[in-house]
Structure 1
Amino acid sequence: MRVICVDIHREKEALSDILISSDDENDIFIDRRPRVIKERINYFETLDDLDFIMRFRLSKNSVEELLLEIEHDLQQATQRNHAIQHRIQLLLTLRYYATGSFLISAGDFSGVSKTSTHRIAHRVTAAIARLARRDIKLPTSAEERAVAQVDFYATARFPRVISALDCTHVKVQSFSGNDAEVFRNRKGYFSINGIILADGGYALKPYLITPIQNLQTPAEILFNESQIRTRKNIERTFGFWKRRFPCLVAGMRFSVSHVLPVIVATAVLHNKARMAAETMPPDDPLLNI
């Protein structure tokens, strides 16, 4: 048995000739949509700096630098015509992070087919997430620790703090299956709980300071007020992170194995933006964020 693929836009006469000339009465004919090469816009040229940041949440310079870091991981051995440029692949993925919409929307925005869009988004995300060891870390050198301590002290005069610990819910669609309800949080929606000065939900450790329970003295009250105000830094950071990348609040529609790299990748990108002293991008007026 042969499978013969036929372009649905061929003239009927051509299809009839094929049917008549076939010497196998068991041939199966499949109508196949013609391959359409979509226009791939160079947004580096068509968008000014403000519109670019609004739509991709990073500046052009930051995107170019990021591309240099991950380009090796995006290399593919292919001889296909119309291969998708690495720059287009990165912008497609950033557009998804910036919207949290269906991947097909990011693909249409970038001129890429639905099938390629899924493959590209996950490959680029994995490449960015691999930068986490370098871009997500505690202060290590004496100089870095000193800078962190000064910054935290300026918040509420709490001494010798170099980091703050808390967790945040990243919204997802139900993963279905027997364990789906495991991911439903106390607020009623499905989420991944990511842990990034700690609150009372954490045990007191020599390296981790939590609020005092059962306050009795004015000094203890003052201690807790200072601790809580200092801890607010991480809560604000989570807010800025989610504001920069709305995919974290829109409800990702991936499996767990694909959601986790997105969380890590967007954290890497947020840290890069902060290190580059980039301001929070304005909201895209086309999005309800």
Structure 2
Amino acid sequence: MSSPLSSHPSSQRRYRYRQRVYVEPTKPLEQYTTEELYARFRFGKADIEYLVNLLWPKLQHRTQRSHGLSVKDQIFIALRFYACCSLYQVIGDYMGVAKSAVCDVVKDVSIALASLVNEFVSFQPDCQQSTAHGHIQAQAPRILRERDGAYPLLPWLMTPFLTANTPTQAHFNTAHCIVRCVIECLNGVLKRRFACLNYLRAEPQKACNITLACIVLHNIATKCSVPLCADNDAPEPLGDPDQPPAFCQNEQTGRATRDTIVRHYF
């Protein structure tokens, strides 16, 4: 004779457990060809082995935080995020790990790669000194949310002169336009290689680490002659290089900084 408690419907629902489903982790090096690795992770087998050796000292002690994942597994998970920018849950299902593990891995690998920026990114001496003495902290994720042609003139954000009244101002506008086009072209290449940069939803510090990580990876890819996958969106078209866009200039300190640059370098 069954007890009243065990036969009660609510009791049966209370003691009904969902069966845990275990997903076998993906083994990309065994499952995919070189072309498939490029498409899914942006790097081939030899390149990934290079990344494993490069990041081993920085990631091997994080196995407890990263749920016991090997350094190679951590790199594959992070590369998958950089390449496709899927939700952590989607990447976790794809790689056979928990969502929380993906979150931790992306953070840890991004920090590890960002710490190597001085080894893989070259700065001009003046630029490096200026960066060191004028560190900029992001104040809000939407600080530059306006359209591309409406950036304000700030001490750390230079815009061209709306009207060049002197030869030096004209030279500044020309140099500014050339550099801007180069940067936009590079940004387009970065977004093609690492789709996460197209729409990065993260708090400022994490977003900075992810961006630096992608820049380091891009330079490594260039060094290792890694092909740029053609199955991604093409870079955004550039504006007319001969005509700088109209910028709003509303910061006195920004004007002073720009005038100093023109006076000393043009």
How does the TM-score come out when normalised to structure 2?
Answer: 0.63
- CA drift at 1:214: 2.0
Partner residue in 2 for 1:233: 182
Rounded to whole Å, the distance in 2 between the matches of 1:181 and 1:244 is 23
Contact 1:41 1:111 in 2 (8 A): yes
Q: Which stretches in structure 2 are left out of the alignment for 5+ residues? A: 7-13, 129-138, 149-155, 237-266
1:111-150 to 2 correspondences below 5 Å = 111-138=96-123
Of structures 1 and 2, the one with the larger relative CO (CA 8 A, separation 6+) is 2
CA RMSD in angstroms comes to 4.0
Rounded to whole Å, the distance in 2 between the matches of 1:135 and 1:275 is 9
Deviations 1:262-286 (A, max 9, x none): 111111111111222223123269x
- CA drift at 1:138: 2.1
Give the share of equivalent positions with the same residue, in percent: 26
Residues 72 and 33 (structure 1), Cα distance of their counterparts in 2 relative to 1, 3 Å cut: farther
Partner residue in 2 for 1:40: 25
Q: Which stretches in structure 1 are left out of the alignment for 5+ residues? A: 1-15, 21-28, 141-161, 164-178, 189-197, 202-209
Runs of 4+ aligned residues of structure 1 deviating over 6 Å after TM superposition are 29-32, 219-223
Partner residue in 2 for 1:57: 42
Deviations 1:18-45 (A, max 9, x none): x99xxxxxxxx88765554321121112
Amino acid across the alignment from 1:281? C
Partner residue in 2 for 1:187: 147
Rounded to whole Å, the distance in 2 between the matches of 1:258 and 1:33 is 35
Contact 1:248 1:263 in 2 (8 A): yes
Paired residue total: 207
Contact 1:53 1:60 in 2 (8 A): no
Partner residue in 2 for 1:67: 52
2:92 matched to 1:107? yes
Partner residue in 2 for 1:214: 164
Rounded to whole Å, the distance in 2 between the matches of 1:138 and 1:52 is 31
Rounded to whole Å, the distance in 2 between the matches of 1:125 and 1:181 is 19
Contact 2:161 2:169 in 1 (8 A): no
Partner residue in 1 for 2:224: 276
Rounded to whole Å, the distance in 2 between the matches of 1:264 and 1:237 is 14
Contact 2:82 2:194 in 1 (8 A): yes
Rounded to whole Å, the distance in 2 between the matches of 1:235 and 1:184 is 16
Rounded to whole Å, the distance in 2 between the matches of 1:246 and 1:124 is 17
- CA drift at 1:180: 5.5
How does the TM-score come out when normalised to structure 1?
Answer: 0.58
